[in-house]
Amino acid sequence: MKAEGHPDYHFITVVMTDGTEYQTRSTYGKEGDRLVLDIDPKVHPAWTGGQQNIDRGGRVSRFKDKFKGFGV
């Protein structure tokens, strides 16, 4: 197998939103880089049970209004 066929796989530090850090192997950046997350499972509504994506007069509502009574 060719040596240049795969990206460099190395250790990076991942920083969670609460400041905790852990090391993992990745192709991101260079050896020793830090990946600071803006959103993670500790704060994302999909994992915390918070408010999900709710259509507030947007695309779904317009679709329903446009096809109201269709096929009835």
d(Cα 31, Cα 8) in Å, to the nearest integer?
9
Phi, psi of 5 (to 5 degrees): -80, -15
Identity of the amino acid at 51? Q
Residue 53: what pLDDT? 60
Closest to 8 (Cα-Cα) out of 24, 25, 20, 23: 25
pLDDT tens per residue across all 72 residues of the chain = 677 788 889 999 999 999 999 999 999 999 999 999 988 888 877 777 766 666 666 788 788 888 888 876
- All structural domains of the chain with their residue ranges: 3-49
**CATH code, residues 3-49:** 4.10.80
Per-residue pLDDT at 51? 63
